[in-house]
Amino acid sequence: MPAVAEKPKSVVKAPAPAPSSAGVSQSPQAQAVSLTISIPSFSLDEKAKLKLPLLLILLLFFSFSAFMFEKANFKTVDLFDLSRTAFNVAKLSSVNFILFLVLFSVTVGLALYYGHGLSPLIAALSLPVLLLASLLLGFVYPLLMLAFVGIALAVSAACVSASFVPDLTFKTAWSSTGKAILLLALLAFIVVNGKVSANKQAYEDTFFSTLTGVTYSNSSASNSSASNATEAGFTKKDLDDSFSTADFRAALLKIPGISSINSSKQDQFANDVKAALFTPVAFERVKAKAATSSAPAASASVSQGRTCSKQELLTVSGVKFLIDNLALLAGLLAGCATLVAGTFVRLLSSIIAASIAKFI
């Protein structure tokens, strides 16, 4: 029987483990990989902990100043309502506005002292605290929410700016407060410009209505005087004399069944009807209706004069430029007013901050 040759068996050798760079043999099993993420720690030093109560006092004065700003009753429409110019100017010397300036100055002065000596990050803690307070106040006074947010940003800017100065003196406080007031003026420009741009037609109508109101005010006064003279001569006696008992009886005879009544009864019935119709209350109603019957004609005359005045004003190049750039000019006016009022705030807050740093 022939011999069958056996096939050679293949031998697979396991690969030798790669030598370790440290000279130590590695385990064939996969080793676990650990990932470590380091988070920077946020800690307050001893000086920052001592000034934390000052942050609460700052929040309190900020709330008081925002409340007094609402009581000062400044509105965007005040820039366009020329008929209330004297009243709006009087607001600048009102007790509410003066109290706002004083409280806001104290708030900025405390903010300067709080931020001085702290790191900018710790000084910026005032921003979320004041923003939260401004949002809560904005729920109570929704129309002033943006104003409150702007004031909060300005106070926080004063805190951060004071953290960069080595010594808190009147000069460094004046410089830091200047940055805060400049930011507040910029925010006032942006807010007023955006508000007027969104409702330009309404503010334009208010502006023109006050301008054209001066045009026809004299004619309106004369019409009012004539109306008052007419009403002064219109009395209940004149009404009684104009309608006699005979007139009422003639009118009543048209009703079926009245003619069958004797004449004396007819006269008595006519007098009763006249007395019931011409009561003092009824007379006042007739008088009011007579006064208002001429109102459409007077209103048409006023409206016609107003339209003519508006068209005449639009032909003037300066007025047309004013209307075309109404939002921009309103924003500039608000920013300039903020800078003027901010000068008093800079002076008083710098004195307060420097005094606190010197005596405490």
Q: What is the full per-residue pLDDT of the chain (360 aa) written as tens digits?
A: 444 444 444 444 555 555 544 454 555 555 556 666 665 555 667 777 888 889 999 999 999 999 999 998 888 888 877 777 778 788 888 999 999 999 999 999 999 999 998 888 988 999 999 999 999 999 999 989 999 999 999 999 999 999 999 899 999 999 999 999 999 999 999 999 999 888 888 887 777 776 655 443 444 444 444 444 344 445 656 656 666 667 767 776 667 667 667 777 767 777 776 666 666 555 555 555 555 554 444 444 444 444 445 556 666 666 677 777 888 988 899 999 999 999 999 999 999 999 998 887
Mean of per-residue pLDDT scores for the chain = 75
Domain definitions of the chain by residue range: 47-198+328-359, 203-216+233-326
Say what the pLDDT of residue 314 is: 62
What confidence tens digit (pLDDT) does each residue in 199-210 have?
A: 888 887 777 776
Say what the pLDDT of residue 304 is: 43
What confidence tens digit (pLDDT) does each residue in 141-186 have?
A: 998 999 999 999 999 999 999 999 989 999 999 999 999 999 999 9
Please give the C-alpha separations between residue 93 and each of 22, 314, 345, in angstroms, as whole numbers: 83, 34, 15
User: Of 109, 81, 78, 80, which is closest to residue 91 (Cα–Cα)?
Assistant: 78
The C-alpha atoms of residue 267 and residue 244 are separated, in whole angstroms, by: 11
Say what the pLDDT of residue 186 is: 96
How would you class 221 by CB atoms within 10 Å of its CB: exposed for 0-12, middle for 13-18, buried for 19 or more?
Answer: exposed
Say what the pLDDT of residue 36 is: 66
Scan for tokens 């947010």, then name that residue. Answer: 149
What confidence tens digit (pLDDT) does each residue in 291-328 have?
A: 555 444 444 444 444 444 555 666 666 667 777 788 89
How would you class 229 by CB atoms within 10 Å of its CB: exposed for 0-12, middle for 13-18, buried for 19 or more?
Answer: exposed
Work out the number of other CB atoms within 10 angstroms of the CB of residue 338. Answer: 21
Say what the pLDDT of residue 252 is: 67
The C-alpha atoms of residue 183 and residue 157 are separated, in whole angstroms, by: 8
Say what the pLDDT of residue 177 is: 94
The C-alpha atoms of residue 55 and residue 211 are separated, in whole angstroms, by: 48
How would you class 298 by CB atoms within 10 Å of its CB: exposed for 0-12, middle for 13-18, buried for 19 or more?
Answer: middle
CB 341 within 8 Å of CB 102: no
User: Of 45, 77, 115, which is closest to residue 199 (Cα–Cα)?
Assistant: 77
Long-range pairs for 72-76: beta carbons < 8 A, 24 or more residues apart: 72/96, 72/97, 72/100, 76/192, 76/195, 76/196, 76/203, 76/330, 76/334
The C-alpha atoms of residue 133 and residue 104 are separated, in whole angstroms, by: 15
The C-alpha atoms of residue 228 and residue 200 are separated, in whole angstroms, by: 38
Work out the number of other CB atoms within 10 angstroms of the CB of residue 244. Answer: 12
